[in-house]
Amino acid sequence: MNMITVKDGTQIYFKDWGTGQPLFFHHGWPLSADDWDTQMMFFLERGYRVIAHDRRGHGRSTQTVTGNEMDTYAADVAELVAKLDLKEAIHIGHSTGGGEVARYVARYGKGRVAKAVLISSVPPIMVKSEKNPGGTPVEVFDKIREGTANHRAQFYEDITLPFYGYNRPGAVISQGVRDNWWRQGMMGGIKAQYDCIKAFSETDFTEDLKKIEIPTLVMHGEDDQIVPFSDSGPLSAKLLKHGTLKAYPGFPHGMPTTHAEQINADLLEFIKS
């Protein structure tokens, strides 16, 4: 397996296929690089170099007890990017991965990153507060913590329904998609995934977004039940110097899977522009 050992001894698994301009994919919680299979195949066939990693504590990477927060996630990416010597890369993040992209690009991306994409992503900040009155109450994240810590296997089955919009009237449910989400989630370490809930819900990416100077596409489904549209996509696009918002009426949080054909086409258009 392709592995890099970062400075604290954690091993980070990654895939690196093809040649051409590099596209670096950052997965959501609590998944792995495998969540990008459809996108990686699509862009590999079109002459791009496609890279995706398992965030520390997730997938095939070390099941870490420490470093399960955004600063370390971004630093891990920076080490991997340096090892692979990626230049003119486009970084694409889904959900928690979008937060990772924002922090990485803001802190380490200068001279290496050409464009960025935030899909169904957690920035600017998810949790409700006086500064973010439209956010999600912390009690919602406490329930996610409780489910993860105490009955992870069943909780990870249940969360796939709102994740993919499969709880909506008339939804065509793919059991394979649900099983694949569960498989990826259960591969990772429970402690790291538990800690990551705080990282994706409470990290404030406002200053990161303000620092990003490259063209950035913000893609968000208007029926996202995990990262609500009104408190994420439009706000991120406004904070970015060169941000473009593309909204998708009726699309769920997991739209790169449920609507891969549309998402891939729009990604390709942005990458080529």
**From 32, 61, 95, 120, active-site residue:** 95
* Residue of 58, 94, 220, 253 with catalytic role: 253
Paired sense of beta strands 113-119 and 89-94, if any: parallel
Cα–Cα distance for residue pair 119/221, rounded to 1 Å: 9
Residue ranges per structural domain of the chain: 3-272
User: pLDDT (tens digit, 9 = 90+) per residue, 74-105?
Assistant: 999 999 999 999 999 999 999 999 999 999 99
Please give the pLDDT value at position 227.
Answer: 98
d(CA 96, CA 100): 6
Q: Decide if 121 is catalytic.
A: no
For residue 75, what pLDDT is reported? Answer: 98
Q: Contact at 8 Å (CB) between 236 and 118?
A: yes
Secondary structure, 3-state, 193-240:
HHHHHHHHHHCCCHHHHHHCCCCEEEEEECCCCCCCHHHCHHHHHHHC
Is pTM beyond 0.95? Reply is: yes
pLDDT band at 184 (very low <50, low <70, confident <90, very high): very high
The edge-to-edge listing of strands for the beta sheet with 89-94 is 3-5, 11-17, 49-53, 22-26, 89-94, 113-119, 216-221, 243-248
CA distance 111 to 143: 41
CA 90 vs CA 66, 120, 196, 270, 271: distances in Å? 28, 17, 24, 10, 8
Per-residue pLDDT reduced to its tens digit, 1-59:
699 999 999 999 999 999 999 999 999 999 999 999 999 999 999 999 999 999 999 99
Active site residue 253: yes
**Partners of 244 in the beta sheet?**
217
Residue from 54, 195, 208, 224 carrying the catalytic annotation: 224
pLDDT at 100: 98
Active site residue 94: no
Burial of 161 (0-12, 13-18, 19+ CB in 10 A): middle
pLDDT (mean) for 227-238: 97
pLDDT tens-digit readout, 152-178: 999 999 999 999 999 999 999 999 999
Could you give the CA distance from residue 111 to residue 105 in angstroms, rounded to a whole number?
Answer: 10
The tens digit of pLDDT for each residue in 64-77 reads 999 999 999 999 99
Phi-psi region of 43 (alpha: psi -120 to 50; beta: other; left: phi over 0): alpha
Whether residue 124 has a cis bond before it, omega within 30° of 0: yes
Residue 62 makes CB contacts below 8 A (sequence gap 6+) with: 9, 10, 11, 12, 56
**What kind of fold does domain 3-272 have according to CATH?**
Rossmann fold (3.40.50)
For residue 142, give every residue at least 6 positions away whose Cβ sits within 8 Å of its Cβ, in sequence order, or none.
Answer: none
Report the DSSP beta bridge partners of residue 92: 25, 117
What percentage of the chain reaches a pLDDT higher than 90?
100
**In this structure, what token pair is assigned to residue 244?**
């473009």
**Residue 152 identity:** R
Compute CA 33 distance to the chain's CA centroid, rounded to the nearest angstrom.
10
What is the average pLDDT score of the chain?
Answer: 98
